[in-house]
Amino acid sequence: MMANELQKIGNAEPVALLKIPVLAISEWREAVLQEVRAGARICALFALPPRDSPVDPADGLARFGALKSRLYAVLGHDREAALAVCATDVEKAYPSLSQVIPQAHWFEREIAETCGVIPQGHPRLKPIRAPLSDAPFFEVAGDSIHEVAVGPVHAGVIEPGHFRFQCHGEQVFHLEIALGYQHRGVERALIGGPGLRTLHYMETLSGDTSIGHALAYVQAMEPLVGIEPPRRAAAIRGIALELERLANHVGDLGALAADVGYLPTASFCGGLRGDFLNLTARICGSRLGRKLLRPGGVCFDLPENAAVEFTRSLEGALRHVNEAAELLWSRSSVLGRFEHVGVVSAETCTDLGLVGPVARACGVKNDVRADFPSGIYRHAKVAVATHAGGDVFSRARVRWLEIQESGRLIRSLLSELAEGLAEGPILHEAFRAGRAAPVLAPDRLVVSLVEGWRGEICHVLITDRNGRIARYKVIDPSFHNWSGLEMALRNQQISDFPLCNKSFNLSYCGHDL
Amino acid sequence: MLKELLARLHQGHRTIPFPREEPVLPERYRGLPAISAANCRDGCRECEKACPTEAITFAGGGDLRLDLGRCLFCSACEDACPTGAIRFTRDYRMVTRERAALLLGDAKTLELARALEERMLRVFGRSLKLRQVSAGGCNGCEAEVSVLNTVVFDLGRFGVQFVASPRHADGLLITGPVTKNMRLALRKTYDAVPAPKFVIAVGACAISGGPYAGHQEACGGAESVVPVDLFIPGCPPHPVTTLDGLLRLLGRRGRTVIR
């Protein structure tokens, strides 16, 4: 089958499972390869385990034997706003894609781990969420080579992960990252839903991205019920998503400054980050945006006078952020530590399928808000920020540019709301309290993309014949980007690791699920 | 240098006057829930059915209990109750020394954390070093603990500091439901802290497993691995809740009973 015959869908546009072509494995591989050669990125690559598969009581993982798993590939064409979807059935093994498509490597490791299907010829088949397994680390041999092991418990107030460096003196030859310490079984628990905890799982997939993940979820649910959220709710969601981006980007600028020992910006930004969190709390009572979103709309309208007060608070905070950032850009001692450190080339970025500010700092102009606009972003156009250096400086600079753009977006949404352009309810009547929960369309697949502050959040929801969740695949941007951090450390000084790590600032729990 | 000084002037003084003054909390902040059984319509159980973490139990006859250690502060119970028997107040004080004290009822009062014992207080009262361990936390609690180090909360002025090694620490501050994959690391970190030591559990996950209670991949909170001396509820707790709890533990807030 030719690539142009694949089922193409848009962001948050459900498709009947029957319409997704199920190809023979060789055709499927060829189709995926053609799409990638035509410039597509792998947004998702995952398996739907066979129903009623036996579960091993020892580790809770499914054991399949001769049963077939169905592999789905979701390929994003960023310039066409189109997602190509195709499937294939595999038993115990299939020829790996990673040999020819490097960006498939982490996905295929996940498939092998969760479904027991072996991608044959995979260059490094090792579990991605089993840190206590005895799978060996990659080792560099030689007289003056030494190994440094860090984690899972780190020096700061951060999540656990293990980093294994192969060093020659100060120079890092290779870094291997072992994750999985945060594995809580979210995807398993989502099956059979939606239930009472579903939204809470979304809000805690990666707690610093509560709005981003919750938005991806409600955006997947709504078209399955056949409704659109009210325009006012969409605007409030946009404000919340941009506030989340502001808080985290500002926090990151401060943390980057702290990592090079430049304390003025570090301490200013540490406090300013809270100003944006507090704005979110003024909307919904929670600094992280908990309980703001729900399918059908939002739970809270903006407080009275928000247009005036929020705009004033926002402008004050942004003025202070810019002052703090200007200090950063004007200090040669800072720039000396930011520039040419932790470089990722545009080529590596594309090969590995990196996303978000990390990719844009390699000059790759991808942003879901502009490429696959949904919700309020169909009306509010986003100017995508890029920087070409691929180093720590570029990643800091892109964040700063995005801070400006988020500020602009929020102000324009606030004035739009103030002018009465989006008057009306904040929750669609299908989801009003007291009404029976709407039923999801059965046997559908929907891909929901959101540009969270770390980059592309991809949720794939598959419903069963009763309209319950048969599979809910979550791909946090960190899932793509952890291997980018490994590459950024090649030939760097090991003492630059904290700085490089902070410039990526990836999620452990968003990866581990 | 002049630029930095000028910026410092512009940025102004940011540290909140807490605990000298009460904190300013957002209008819609969901703090300590209050139960008024008199309002409870016997047998409707809508609150119980709406709770995502089985925090609410109803034994009939106005005996409505809410376990703060399980509560995600989503206020689904308040939304579901037709008669206003459960209401989320804006009280941020809710840190306790005993797990059982987190079980709210109509007649029961919440006994806020008392200070450390005299001997412990002599050692830790003015200098307390903590090691933070995230064991399956979503980075919500971690982030809200981390802000205590910023100029806004300025934890250092109370002599409390997060340190890089358990060997330098007086106690652990644990977040997350304790995943199976973190159990060993948590245990080793605890063992590496020299005695006398204590443990602080922050957030619904660390107290009860939170939304991950009952998951085979997690252990249902910190107490499954180590003894816990201070319970800070929330999802995540507001930073002033955590700060209030720490100050109570250090005997800086006096004994309060909330009715």
pLDDT at A399 exceeding the cut of 60: yes
The fold of A215-475 is Cytochrome-c3 Hydrogenase; chain B (1.10.645)
pLDDT one-digit tens code per residue, A242-301: 999 999 999 999 999 999 999 999 999 999 999 999 999 999 999 999 999 999 999 999
What is the maximum alpha-carbon separation in chain B? 69
Residues of A in contact with B75 (CB under 8 A): 291
Give SS3 for B87: strand
Number of domain units in chain B: 1
Residues of A in contact with B212 (CB under 8 A): 184-185
pLDDT one-digit tens code per residue, B173-227: 999 999 999 999 999 999 999 999 999 999 999 999 999 999 999 999 999 999 9
Cα separation, A111 vs A126, in Å, equals 11
Residue A67: pLDDT band with limits 50, 70, 90? confident
Q: What is the pLDDT, as a whole number, of residue A92? A: 87
Chain A 276-295, CB below 8 Å of chain B: which residues?
A: 278, 281-288, 290-291
Cα separation, B182 vs B186, in Å, equals 6
Residue B137 lies in a domain: yes
Q: What is the pLDDT, as a whole number, of residue A156? A: 85
Q: What is the pLDDT, as a whole number, of residue A411? A: 95
Minimal Cβ distance to A184: which of B142, B185, B218: B218
CB B57 within 8 A of CB B119: no
Mutate to test the interface with B, among A114, A154, A157, A288 (most CBs of B within 10 A): A157
B143-147 mean pLDDT: 96
Please tell me if residue B134 touches chain A, with a CB cutoff of 8 Å: yes
Tell me the backbone φ, ψ of residue A186, rounded to 5 degrees: -65, -50
Q: For residue B101, what are the contacts with CB-CB under 8 A and spacing of at least 6? A: B110, B111, B231
CA distances from A412 to A408, A418, A421 (A): 6, 10, 11
Q: What is the pLDDT, as a whole number, of residue A64? A: 46
CB B141 within 8 A of CB B236: yes
Structural domain including B151 reads 118-258
Q: How many CB pairs under 8 A join A and B?
A: 179
CB A510 within 8 A of CB A478: yes
Q: What is the CATH number of the domain that holds B217?
A: 3.40.50.12280
Q: What is the pLDDT, as a whole number, of residue A437? A: 80
Q: For residue A288, what are the contacts with CB-CB under 8 A and spacing of at least 6? A: A203, A207, A208, A210, A211, A277, A280, B140, B143, B144, B236
Minimal Cβ distance to B29: which of A197, A281, A288: A281
pLDDT at A65 exceeding the cut of 70: no
Residues of B in contact with A185 (CB under 8 A): 212, 215-218
In sequence order, the β-bridge partners of residue A84 are: A8, A75
Residues of chain A with CATH 1.10.645.10: 215-475
Minimal Cβ distance to B179: which of A184, A205, A281: A184
Give SS3 for B104: strand
pLDDT one-digit tens code per residue, A189-236: 999 989 999 999 999 999 999 999 999 999 999 999 999 999 999 999
Please tell me if residue B73 touches chain A, with a CB cutoff of 8 Å: yes
Please tell me if residue B4 touches chain A, with a CB cutoff of 8 Å: yes
ipTM: 0.94
Using N-to-C axis directions, what is the helix angle for A263-284 and A231-259, rounded to 10°? 160
CB B68 within 8 A of CB B111: no
Residues of chain A with CATH 3.30.460.80: 3-120
Residue A66: pLDDT band with limits 50, 70, 90? very low
CA dihedral of A10, A16, A17, A19, whole degrees rounded to 10: -80
pLDDT at A478 exceeding the cut of 50: yes
> What's the CATH code, domain A3-120?
3.30.460.80
Positive or negative, the Cα torsion across B93, B95, B99, B101? negative
Residue B89 lies in a domain: no
Of the listed ranges A430-434, A478-482, B153-157, the least confidently predicted one is A430-434
Q: What is the pLDDT, as a whole number, of residue A58? A: 54
Distance from CA of B222 to the nearest CA of A (A): 14
pLDDT at A107 exceeding the cut of 80: yes
Q: Give how far the C-alpha of residue B200 lies from the chain's centroid of Cα atoms, to the nearest Å.
A: 8
Mutate to test the interface with A, among B181, B205, B225 (most CBs of A within 10 A): B181
pLDDT at B139 exceeding the cut of 90: yes
Residue B48 lies in a domain: no
Residues of A in contact with B217 (CB under 8 A): 60, 183-185, 188
A390-402 mean pLDDT: 97
CA distances from A41 to A78, A83, A502 (A): 8, 9, 25
Residue B207 lies in a domain: yes
Residue B70 lies in a domain: no
pLDDT at B84 exceeding the cut of 50: yes
Q: For residue A37, what are the contacts with CB-CB under 8 A and spacing of at least 6? A: none
Tokens of B200: 């602080």
Tokens of B30: 């969901």
Cα separation, A194 vs A468, in Å, equals 7
Q: What is the pLDDT, as a whole number, of residue A59? A: 52
Cα separation, B131 vs A63, in Å, equals 39
Higher pLDDT, A129 or A62: A129
Strand ranges of the sheet holding A469-475, from the earlier edge strand across to the other edge: A15-16, A444-452, A455-463, A469-475
A112-137 mean pLDDT: 91
pLDDT one-digit tens code per residue, A424-475: 889 898 888 777 788 999 999 999 999 999 999 999 999 998 999 999 999 9
Strand ranges of the sheet holding A162-168, from the earlier edge strand across to the other edge: A145-150, A162-168, A171-178
In sequence order, the β-bridge partners of residue A119 are: A94
B149·A271 Cβ contact <8 A: no
